[in-house]
């Protein structure tokens, strides 16, 4: 800086005025005599300009959130802001700790900010305490429901799962985490026992949400995660809040064992029923089944004014077959005859062993003439069949039809009379007996 001291002072004054108005003036250049007060003054002003420039840059960084900005040292203008920088960086660290779940953080000596921050922490602590209480409550619920051994799940008002106990997880193969928030009907209750789709509207568990009523279902199925079927009985109970359905609890029980037992029982009963109504030798119906069917058919024929015919047949000279060939061959003859006749009858006809070598055929919706024709077809079929076990086999046939005053006794007596007449007529023939 060249010039008189007055000129130098004027530049110093300009520089200071610039600093006071917030600008960063150019530094003063001094080239006069050294060691003078003017030189010292210029050096001091230049230092002030440097400090102002540093302070501005540092404060700008802080204002833009760059908390890691390098803080100059030995600059008294910046000291309070370095303290603020320290405070803010500590808050960043504390916030990170809070994000990691550390709610023991506490902000000290930062006025209203401390109050606000500490209130937030207190609020978070309360929230955590509530969450922990809820978790504990949910754990207790799971423990209790697991101890019961029942599968339990809970739906919200939209049918979305909010709870699944460990027993249900085991039975269904799904974890609670996998099903949370999902509409479980379409997952575990997607089809009916017959394999058809299970519409939402038909789902009794979901209907609880609509009706607010308790629903019991004794026999249904849920679908496991591996797509296998789980036979269940369940009870769906609504959850009411202020009288409004807010969800439902479904408790279900694995009834596989019960179902298996029921099915085994049904099979056993069916076998017993079959054994009770089937002739053990020939496999056709026995007399008991014929008697039951006769009563029903007589009733039906009367109700609908339909004809009903009965054919009774007897193997001619069957005693001779047994005597000549032995009872074993006699049994074979009876079995073969049963197969031969059965093959010629309609599905609705009933062929039964009446006893010994006598058989009966019940012919619904068949008048006497048609019954006699059928008997004749059977007679010819027997006569023409080789019956390889014996030389020749023939049968005699008696036929009659239901009269208006007939009951099962009179009908069978007349059929027996017709058969007797066929025997009397030389056997191997058909005799039809009109009703009186």
Partner 1 sequence: MFREERDQSQFEWKDLGDITVGRPNLGPTTSVAVYRLMQYTMRDVLIKDYGVERADALLFEAGKVAGKALCRNLLDTKLEPEAFISDLSEKLIGLSVGVLRVETADLDKMEFILTVAEDLDCSGLPVSDETVCNYDEGFIAGILEEFSGIEFNVREVDCWASGERICRFEARAA
Q: What residue ranges bind partner 1 (CB under 8 A)?
A: 71, 73-76, 79-80, 82-83, 86-87, 89-90, 93-94, 97, 102, 104-106, 108-109
Classify 4 as helix, strand or coil: coil
User: Which of 93, 261 has the CB closer to partner 1?
Assistant: 93
Shortest distance, position 23 Cβ to partner 1, whole Å: 25
User: Which of 85, 309 has the CB closer to partner 1?
Assistant: 85
Of the chain, the end-to-end C-alpha distance in Å amounts to 157
Phi, psi angles (nearest 5°) of residue 222: -110, 160
- For 365, other C-beta atoms within 10 Å of its C-beta total 16
How far apart, in whole angstroms, are the C-alpha atoms of residue 415 and residue 206?
Answer: 62
User: Which of 108, 201 has the CB closer to partner 1?
Assistant: 108
User: Which of 94, 335 has the CB closer to partner 1?
Assistant: 94
What's the CA angle centered on 14, arms 13 and 20, to 5 degrees? 90
Shortest distance, position 84 Cβ to partner 1, whole Å: 9
User: Which of 48, 370 has the CB closer to partner 1?
Assistant: 48
Q: Report whether 164 contacts 174 (CB < 8 A).
A: yes
Residue of 206, 153, 155, 161 whose CA lies nearest to 180: 161
User: Which of 76, 436 has the CB closer to partner 1?
Assistant: 76
Shortest distance, position 56 Cβ to partner 1, whole Å: 18
Residue of 220, 212, 255 whose CA lies nearest to 236: 212
Shortest distance, position 107 Cβ to partner 1, whole Å: 10
Q: Report whether 152 contacts 249 (CB < 8 A).
A: yes
How far apart, in whole angstroms, are the C-alpha atoms of residue 207 and residue 238?
Answer: 10
User: Which of 115, 263 has the CB closer to partner 1?
Assistant: 115
Burial bucket for residue 238 (CB in 10 Å: 0-12, 13-18, 19+): buried
Shortest distance, position 91 Cβ to partner 1, whole Å: 9
Shortest distance, position 100 Cβ to partner 1, whole Å: 8
Shortest distance, position 29 Cβ to partner 1, whole Å: 27
């Amino acid at each position: 800086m060249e010039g008189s001291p007055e000129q130098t002072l004027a530049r110093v004054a300009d520089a200071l005025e610039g600093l006071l108005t917030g600008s960063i003036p150019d530094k003063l250049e001094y080239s006069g005599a050294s060691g003078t007060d003017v030189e010292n003054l210029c050096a001091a002003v230049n230092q002030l300009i440097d400090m102002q420039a540093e302070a501005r840059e540092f404060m700008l960084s802080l204002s833009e959130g760059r908390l890691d900005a390098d803080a100059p040292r030995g600059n008294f203008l910046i000291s309070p802001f370095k303290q603020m920088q320290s405070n803010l960086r500590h808050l960043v660290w504390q916030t990170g700790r809070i994000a990691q779940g550390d709610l023991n953080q506490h902000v000290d000596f930062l006025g209203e900010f401390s109050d606000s921050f500490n209130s937030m922490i207190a609020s978070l602590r309360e929230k955590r305490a509530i969450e922990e209480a809820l978790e504990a409550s949910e754990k207790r619920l799971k423990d209790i429901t697991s101890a019961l051994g029942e599968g339990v799940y809970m739906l919200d008002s939209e049918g979305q799962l909010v709870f699944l106990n460990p027993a249900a997880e085991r039975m269904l193969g799904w974890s609670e985490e996998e099903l949370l928030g999902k509409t479980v009907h379409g997952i575990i209750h997607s089809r009916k026992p017959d394999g058809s789709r299970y519409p939402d509207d038909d789902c009794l568990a979901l209907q609880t949400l609509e009706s607010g009523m308790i629903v019991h279902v004794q026999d249904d199925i849920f679908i496991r995660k591996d797509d296998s079927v789980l036979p269940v009985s369940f009870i769906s109970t609504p959850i009411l809040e202020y009288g409004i359905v807010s969800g439902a609890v479904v408790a279900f029980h694995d009834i596989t064992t019960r179902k298996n037992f029921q099915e085994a029982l049904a099979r056993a009963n069916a076998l017993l029923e079959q054994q009770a109504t089937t002739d053990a030798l020939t496999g056709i119906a026995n007399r008991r089944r014929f008697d039951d069917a006769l009563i029903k058919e007589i009733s039906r024929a009367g109700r609908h004014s339909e004809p009903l015919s009965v054919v009774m047949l007897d193997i001619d000279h069957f005693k001779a077959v047994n005597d000549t060939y032995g009872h074993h061959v006699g049994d074979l003859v009876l079995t073969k005859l049963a197969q031969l006749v059965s093959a010629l009858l309609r599905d609705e006809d009933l062929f039964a062993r009446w006893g010994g070598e006598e058989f009966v055929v019940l012919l619904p919706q068949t008048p006497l003439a048609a019954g006699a024709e059928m008997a004749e077809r059977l007679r010819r079929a027997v006569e023409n069949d080789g019956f390889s076990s014996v030389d020749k086999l023939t049968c005699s046939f008696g036929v009659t039809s239901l009269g208006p005053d007939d009951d099962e006794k009179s009908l069978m007596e007349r059929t027996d009379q017709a058969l007797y007449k066929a025997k009397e007529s030389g056997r191997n023939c058909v005799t039809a007996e009109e009703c009186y």
